[in-house]
Amino acid sequence: MAGSITPGTLLPHTHTSQLLEELVAKAPEGPVDLDWLLSHLDKRSFGLLLLLLGLLVVIPGVATIATLMIAFPSVEMMLGHRRPTFPHFLSKREFDFKRFKRFTERAQPALRVIESLSRPRWTLPHAAADRLVGAVVFLLALSAIWPLPLVNVIPGVAIVLIAIAYLQEDGLLLAVAAAAALLSLAGFGWTVWASAAAVLRWIGQG
């Protein structure tokens, strides 16, 4: 069914939560790597990959590597690539999918609520949507990797919202998610500035 879909075409009867549930159900027991994930993604590969990695960014223990991973597809989206690729050292890195399964089970009700409110509207040209999403996600990934407690949670949630809006071709939701991303980035900028000012004051007092 996925093979007959052209890039950028919405699947009206297949919600993102259902696609995510089907993908998780296919996962083998034990760790999986990105090569396995990429081999099971359809032509929505960028959107689904951003959704998967955005969820991983929120999960303690795998957030750092997920944040590093998400930078690659975001750059490729900005460059107009058709499908995501990863360097070998990342594509073969394994992570515990059981923890991800448990997290997605808890997240499914929230995803379904978002989907119930989402529909195709304010549609952007596919190339423009790719570049916009790629740029915003890349900035969020940079902010999420900052070594502060729980700094990854808000960018991760913003990435998940952006991925759902992208998959649902919902320009209104994408605008809301982008606004949330800007607030997250503004908060990150303030945190960096406040941290730098505190360090400078400490050095000055020394």
Q: Which of 132, 131, 163 is nearest to 66 (CA)?
A: 163
What tokens does 31 get? 């760790």
For residues 194 and 130, give the distance between their C-alpha atoms in angstroms, rounded to a whole number. Answer: 33
Its pTM stands at 0.72
Lowest mean pLDDT among 60-64, 79-83, 151-155: 60-64
Q: How many residues in the chain?
A: 206
Dist. CA 172–CA 31, nearest whole Å: 37
Poorest-pLDDT segment among 2-6, 107-111, 194-198:
2-6
Q: Is residue 83 helix, strand or coil?
A: coil
How does pLDDT run across 187-204, given as a tens digit for each residue?
Answer: 777 777 877 777 777 887
Query: How does pLDDT run across 13-54, given as a tens digit for each residue?
Result: 456 777 777 777 777 776 777 777 777 665 567 887 888 888
Stretch (H or E) spanning 66:
helix 63-78
Higher pLDDT, 29 or 166: 166
Nearest of 192, 161, 167 to residue 179 by alpha carbon: 161
